[in-house]
Structure 1
Amino acid sequence: MVTQNPVRIDDEVPPAAATGAGGLGPSQRRAAIRAMRDQELDVLVVGGGIVGAGSALDAVTRGLTVGLVEARDWSAGTSSRSSKLVHGGIRYLEQLNFTLVREALIERGLLLQRIAPHLVKPVKFLFPLTHRVWERFYIGAGMLMYDAFSWTGGRPPGVPHHRHLSRRQLYRAIPSLKKGAMVGGMTYYDAQVDDARYGTMVARTAARYGAHVATRVRVEGFVKVGERVVGVDAIDLETGERFQIKAKQVVNATGVWTDDTQRLVGERGGFHVRASKGVHLVVPRDRIQSTMGMILRTEKSVLFVIPWGRHWLVGTTDTEYELNKAHPAATAHDIDYILDHVNEVLATPLTREDVEGVYAGLRPLLAGESEQTSQLSREHIVTHTVPGLVVIAGGKWTTYRVMAKDAIDAAASALDGRVPGSVTEDIALVGGAGYQAAWNQRAAIAARTGLHPARIEHLLNRFGTLAEEVLALIAERPALAAPVPGADDYLQAEIVYATTHEGALHLDDVLARRTRISIEAWDRGVSAAPVAAALMAEVLGWDAEHEQLEVDTYLERVRAERESQTMPDDESADRVRLEAPEIVQAV
């Protein structure tokens, strides 16, 4: 554990930290903490994952005064380590969970077309067939149902319907398939998203509508009057300041930490959240020749091969996990399991040398329905465990907006006066309004700025219309148009923007979540770290010692992760991963 004392909450922030409307910069964070400290809120949300951020947005757009605190970074846990899919869940059809599939498909359409067209994109998948006739009929019936459910939200689904492929068509579309591995297939569409970026944009949208949001604020206890929760005891981990936040209703949206958070108030909540570990590999796009992704059955679950820019994501595992929740580590066994299963269908097998990056995340599953985590429910639960405290747990990334709505419905029912219903179905995230027009003008934007059209497309698909703010940084400082060393897909301006407008406070925030350099670069961000830290230092006022500390801490993280991935089991991988220090400013 490393302790430092960078800029305090009430210190002056360098002029470069000034942010535009809706930006999450150092000055905004200072103001948000002050506001939460000095007034009673209607709703305080604890947990800055996708459900917590979504809950804050839902509450503030109902006209409530809202706070949102996160102990680490936006989406630092589960919400940045998913399969990065927005999907209905083909496998849930076999479990006859039609309600969950329908709900998720309706949300998929909303995210694609209305809420975040700049961040959520259609992706084509192959469902392979290994048996003739009966399997095509059986899977085809499921695909028809999948397509039909996607229309039940009262609007077009936003993606094409499924199609059948013959064996010849299949191998023409995916030349890398092993001969004889399949007899045919079906194509269908779902959608994909950079989950960490999406979570940050939800928090930023909540702030734009007036929510007070801050990362690196840890809840250490609940304030109670009698049996009623009336707020929390919190600590600003950047400054060491301890303070209380008073709220009429507190929402616990801490995912796999739900049980830990509930223990702070002395209540379990009548249910238990189990963690299931999922591991994904990142491999270069040229290692698999295919025009689409794939979904493959395994003996335990399913394996996805997902197109991801100039890479493929291959995963996932599904195993019970009871160790460190902040830094779940992939083991050698996890990596071999994924490689072995994907290689069953590839003509040229993938090897360890093909793996660019590895990441592991934990799914929060409601316990009690099965001993196998892969069979546990992906539905969610909302409960008032004690007066003043709402708990939201379970669920899946795709249905975060529904989960948030249900949580705030529960909180609103206990507030005095009439609270309007949820309106997030009709609210675009920041950068979403006008995205299609900006996309159509991308050639003109490229000509005006002198950047390659591919760079403009990259920025539009990461920031939407807010790309103009990134381009303004480049206009002011042309040197920021240079790519980040070792990660040519990203511009140095994106590092600065992450710090001034997206709430990044530490190097890990930028390399692991505002960008995905930590999993996409061959060196996992080692060469990018010194340049990124120098750019962040200009904004955050780091001295040379703290700047070097950020770099050294990140390099230790990379070393520990690489070594943990050679370990045979969870216990040894966890021990090695935890050898890396964290930058913790207060204890």
Structure 2
Amino acid sequence: MHPGETDRTLLSPARRRADRARLEDEVVDVLVIGGGVTGAGAALDAASRGLSVALVEARDWAAGTSSRSSKLIHGGLRYLEQFAFPLVHEALSERARLVQTIAPHLVTPLPFLLPLTAPVWQRAYFGAGVALYDVLGAAFARGREIPRHRHLSRKKTLAAFPGLRGDVVRGSIRYWDAQVDDARHTLAVVRTAAGYGARVLSSARVVDLLRDGDGDGPDSPVVGARVADLTDGSSFTVRARSVVAATGVWSDDVGAMLGADAPSLKVRASKGVHLVVPRAAIDGDALATAGGTPSGLILRTPTSVLFVIPWGDERWIIGTTDTPWRLDRDHPAASSADIDYILDQVNRVLVRPVTPEDILGVYAGLRPLLAGESDQTSRLSREHAVITPVPGLVLVAGGKYTTYRVMAEDAVDAAVAGLPGAPASRTARLPLVGAHRWADVRDRAAELADGSGVPESTVARLLRRHGDRTGDVLDLARSDPALARPLEGAPGYLSAEVVHAVLAEGALHLDDVLTRRTRVSIETDHRGVESAPQVARLMAAALGWDEERTSREVAHYTARVEAERESQRMPDDHTADAARLGAPDVRAAV
């Protein structure tokens, strides 16, 4: 059996305790700092090569940038205008691997319309770019997973997306990219790494690097890290032959641990804000395709692009912004100015304007961009860099979600350069947890639902979240009929998914479940507050929380939602940041 199919992938409380205990007694080949998609990818890359690996994350898996993206796996159509052909080609090749092999249950093809608002020149200009996009991706396309682009007339465009203004739109180009639930994908990478034997710990913050010898010289090798366990306030050391820091917008923090004179990566944070609205807020009908997949939109804005993306069966995601951010990196805040900007841009092409009252959820994330000469973050490089500032330490930063696997491979190649006999990367052909038997289960929702007490339509949604491990969730529902019921305030999710999040997916706090294992926090107008008490009770039973701890988790979550709502009423970044910081991180309570 493949390591990704075994119970070794389960991130249970007992697994965490065992990994924590073993790390104090081992010297691992590779210690990875950072549990976003790049760090998780590095842990999987190293572990699947047969190396001993530790992965530590200060908060939750994908808690930073990797749960707050546009949820797209794409080549970056707009980068063609910057002549970044190698970057686009690389991203499109990774898109194909994700759709076909690595995570077909989580990464699905999605059509987009590029509306044309000007006369003939725009169709010719954009058409040439989209044609090149297809050409760059064609070498990695197999079968019909990603169809080629098509030109649509004004009439066909309005039939495909009736919500577009007929007096503005003159036609469109339809092309395809792919969509992902970023947090669940990152989690699948972590679980797959665990299946290959990686020791994985969330709520484990690196507070310093261990240096060999006296540790004072600029070239003193890094031999591990000191780690604070945020579950109980204790601390421990992890010793390693090589350390990979994949900390994104926190890269400067790792550089500071080396001292002022050490080389480092210069990373700038760019804030991207997204809105979630009900499907009824925008009249975008399905094109006449075999699968009936509704199309998204890609719109040109003065500074970048704006997407309108179908999210599940009932919602749209609209975003994003692209502005410099120099404030709190743990909890970037969306201001009313960000929200107004998005609404203004999207409403320029819609018959019925989207209003603030339509908004269900708002989220803000930070892109780690390699700093260049320009202060405009939209022009900074989306390529990645890997450096070894001192022996034993590798820093990786930049890039984009789609190319995480390449970044991880490059980082591990650098980390094992001094380890004789280390094999080459295997991840280009390595399915993640949930993908191994996807072809066998993808169309079997009715059969899987039988005897579980769960409707077939719900099982179909479970398959898109859990793939061939959907049976693990249904087994919980069969064992306790109460777990077969929907969550209060979030009927798209099962109570069993909460228990599964604790027993198999490493969830330690209420926020982990409502924000990342599920998307209740952005998909409901109450933003998870109505679901919080029930979810906390389910988690308490699995984690052994007492009544005081359970109440504290609900209070923390409620305060977080209120702070975010308040920040979104503030006029600018500084006031929004101050409002958001009114609710401390739940992990700061230890």
Mark yes or no: TM-score above 0.5.
yes
Q: Does residue 255 of structure 2 align to residue 269 of structure 1? A: no
Gap change, CA 1:561 and 1:369, over 3 Å in 2 = same
* Aligned AA (1:579): G
Q: Does residue 327 of structure 2 align to residue 323 of structure 1? A: yes
Cα shift at 1:157: 7.0
Q: Which residue of 1 aligns with 2:225?
A: 232
SS in 2 for 1:38: coil
* Aligned AA (2:546): D
**For 1:508-523, what aligned pairs fall within 5 Å after superposition?**
508-523=511-526
Tell me which of 94, 103, 113 is aligned to 1:107.
94
Cα shift at 1:450: 4.0
**For 1:544-583, what aligned pairs fall within 5 Å after superposition?**
544-583=547-586
In the aligned structure 1, how far is the partner of 2:253 from the partner of 2:448?
A: 49
Q: Which residue of 2 aligns with 1:68?
A: 55
Report if aligned partners of 1:221, 1:233 keep a CA contact under 8 Å in 2.
Answer: yes
1:318-362 CA-partner distances (Å, limit 9, x unpaired): 000000000000000000000000000011101100000000000
Q: Which residue of 2 aligns with 1:6?
A: none
In the aligned structure 2, how far is the partner of 1:368 from the partner of 1:581?
A: 33
In the aligned structure 1, how far is the partner of 2:587 from the partner of 2:529?
A: 21
Q: Give the TM-score normalised by the residue count of structure 1.
A: 0.95
* Aligned AA (1:520): E
Report if aligned partners of 1:251, 1:411 keep a CA contact under 8 Å in 2.
Answer: yes
Cα shift at 1:179: 2.2
Q: Does residue 454 of structure 2 align to residue 451 of structure 1? A: yes
Tell me which of 55, 65, 70 is aligned to 2:42.
55
Cα shift at 1:493: 0.5
Unaligned runs of 5+ in 1: 1-18
Q: Which residue of 1 aligns with 2:366?
A: 362
Report if aligned partners of 1:56, 1:206 keep a CA contact under 8 Å in 2.
Answer: yes
Q: Which residue of 1 aligns with 2:3?
A: none
Q: Which residue of 2 aligns with 1:498?
A: 501
Cα shift at 1:21: 3.6
Cα shift at 1:560: 0.4
Q: Which residue of 2 aligns with 1:168?
A: 155
Q: Which residue of 2 aligns with 1:542?
A: 545
Tell me which of 65, 69, 81 is aligned to 1:94.
81
1:374-401 CA-partner distances (Å, limit 9, x unpaired): 1000000001010000000100000000
Q: Which residue of 2 aligns with 1:251?
A: 244
Q: Which residue of 1 aligns with 2:291?
A: none
In the aligned structure 2, how far is the partner of 1:388 from the partner of 1:484?
A: 47
Tell me which of 526, 529, 545 is aligned to 1:526.
529
* Aligned AA (1:516): R
Q: Which residue of 2 aligns with 1:12?
A: none
Q: Which residue of 2 aligns with 1:282?
A: 276
Report if aligned partners of 1:130, 1:181 keep a CA contact under 8 Å in 2.
Answer: yes
Percent of aligned pairs sharing the same letter:
55
SS in 1 for 2:527: coil
Q: Which residue of 2 aligns with 1:11?
A: none
The range that moved more, 442-451 or 189-198, is 442-451
Tell me which of 369, 372, 375 is aligned to 2:376.
372
SS in 1 for 2:9: coil
**For 1:24-173, what aligned pairs fall within 5 Å after superposition?**
24-153=11-140, 155-156=142-143, 158-173=145-160
In the aligned structure 1, how far is the partner of 2:16 from the partner of 2:8?
A: 14
SS in 2 for 1:584: helix
Report if aligned partners of 1:24, 1:501 keep a CA contact under 8 Å in 2.
Answer: yes
Q: Give the TM-score normalised by the residue count of structure 2.
A: 0.95
In the aligned structure 2, how far is the partner of 1:581 from the partner of 1:85?
A: 30
* Aligned AA (2:267): V
Q: Which residue of 1 aligns with 2:167?
A: 180
1:74-94 CA-partner distances (Å, limit 9, x unpaired): 000000000000000000011
Report if aligned partners of 1:106, 1:157 keep a CA contact under 8 Å in 2.
Answer: no
The range that moved more, 157-166 or 19-28, is 19-28
Q: Which residue of 1 aligns with 2:311?
A: 308
In the aligned structure 1, how far is the partner of 2:585 from the partner of 2:422?
A: 42
* Aligned AA (2:554): V
Q: Which residue of 1 aligns with 2:292?
A: none
Tell me which of 390, 393, 397 is aligned to 1:389.
393
SS in 1 for 2:24: helix
In the aligned structure 1, how far is the partner of 2:135 from the partner of 2:446?
A: 37
Cα shift at 1:411: 0.5
The range that moved more, 366-375 or 577-586, is 577-586
* Aligned AA (1:563): E
Report if aligned partners of 2:56, 2:200 keep a CA contact under 8 Å in 1.
Answer: yes
SS in 1 for 2:369: strand
In the aligned structure 2, how far is the partner of 1:153 from the partner of 1:306?
A: 24
* Aligned AA (2:248): G
Report if aligned partners of 2:72, 2:177 keep a CA contact under 8 Å in 1.
Answer: yes
